[in-house]
Amino acid sequence: MKHDQYKTLITDTAKALGFFHVGFSKAGFLEEEAPRLEHWLKQNYHGKMAYMANHFDKRLDPRLLEPGTQTIISLLLNYYPEQTQQDPTAPQVAKYAYGQDYHYVIKDKLKELLFILREKIGDIQGRAFVDSAPVMDKVWAKKAGLGWMGKNTNLIHPKNGSFFFIAELFVDLEISPDGPIKDYCGTCTRCTDACPTDALATPYLIDASKCISYLTIELKDADLPSEFKGKMENWAFGCDICQDVCPWNRFSKIQQEAAFEPHPEFLNLSSKEWEALSEESFRMLFGKSAIKRTKYSGLQRNIQFLKKEL
């Protein structure tokens, strides 16, 4: 029995919690993704992110990750900021990290969503995911009709661009799936042309080992590879280049989540203040931010590497 009467309840409840789009897909084996993922891993496009090669089967079939799952509920949460960093010469931070760490903010919302659904529906089994498990979130969101996979490998929504987080609820309810939508990238190559490290040399395929986000966050080496000297375009944590140039992001709307508001002093940091940043100031400014993932030493490594480019 399909529980389609719950679709409106789930969608309305999720939107009341701040999610701006919700979609549904049937849990199953991702047959088309299996050879793509295998090829991506064999080419070592994941760099030193060894965890990407773990749990291959579970990554492709959510029913192995969470037995009993019948439906994947995909949810989008906007993070597009009202203001950006004021000093264009200062080390740059990806917009998603301006406010509090999204993992905690979204996980709390998903827990509340699941609690409300259990109160209104009954003893449903569900599990929440926010970019912290072997879940192909962009693929499931695409299957649920929440956008298409752009040439920059980001999910793009036709009315909201791509500055949003993706989260999932795995539930044991059978709900009619929403179908995918058309790819509207067309002949546009702005993202692939703009990538300074050639991480997007092949459209729709990212060599993460060359991505500035990977280099500044995921790569834990003491030094960044010299081959990227002069190519970082002043990014110290993450990178927004392929999103900033995407014409679909003209539809991005200012986010309304208070937790994503940046620390009042952060946006005004000058280039000199970044270079002089102490560990105490780092903890004060970024203690609740995703930026803490790099640790103070990692951020200093990135800033020093940028200085060498000048």
pLDDT at 93 over 70: yes
> CB under 8 Å to 99, separation ≥6 — which residues?
79, 105, 257, 259, 260, 261, 262, 289
Give me the pLDDT at residue 132, please. 82
Give the Å distances, CA to CA, from 173 to 120, 133, 276. 14, 21, 53
Cα–Cα distance measured from residue 241 to residue 206, given in angstroms and rounded to the nearest whole number: 14
At residue 67, does pLDDT exceed 80? yes
**Are 139 and 119 a contacting pair, CB within 8 Å?**
no
Q: Is the pLDDT of residue 231 over 70?
A: yes
Q: What is the distance between the alpha carbons of residues 70 and 95, in angstroms, rounded to a whole number?
A: 34
pLDDT > 70? residue 297: yes
* Mean pLDDT within 270-283: 95
Active-site residue (options: 87, 131, 178, 183): 131
In the three-class reduction of DSSP (H, G, I as helix; E, B as strand; rest coil), residue 281 is classed as helix
The 8-class DSSP code of residue 90 comes to S
Q: Are strands 235-237 and 92-93 parallel, antiparallel or unpaired?
A: parallel
131 classed as catalytic: yes
Angle CA(246)–CA(249)–CA(252) in degrees, nearest 5?
170
Query: What's the mean pLDDT in 138-164?
Result: 98
Task: Read off the pLDDT of residues 173-221 as tens digits, 9 standing for 90 and up.
Answer: 999 999 999 999 999 999 999 999 999 999 999 999 999 999 999 999 9
Residue 2 confidence class, pLDDT cut points 50, 70, 90: confident
pLDDT number for residue 310 = 55
In one letter, which amino acid is 65?
L
CA 268 to chain centre: 25
Q: What is the pLDDT of residue 308?
A: 78
- pLDDT at residue 94 is higher than 70: yes
- Which token pair is 4? 């389609």
* pLDDT number for residue 1: 58
Residue type, 178: D
Q: According to the model, what pLDDT value does residue 177 have? A: 96
pTM of the model: 0.96
pLDDT band at 75 (very low <50, low <70, confident <90, very high): very high
Q: Please state at what angle helix 295-309 crosses helix 279-286, rounded to 10 degrees.
A: 110
Element (H, E) at 24: strand 21-26
CB burial of residue 149 (10 Å; 0-12, 13-18, 19+): middle
Average pLDDT taken over every residue of the chain: 96
**In this model, does residue 25 exceed pLDDT 90?**
yes
Asked whether the predicted pLDDT for residue 27 surpasses 60, the reply is yes
Is residue 105 predicted with pLDDT exceeding 80?
Answer: yes
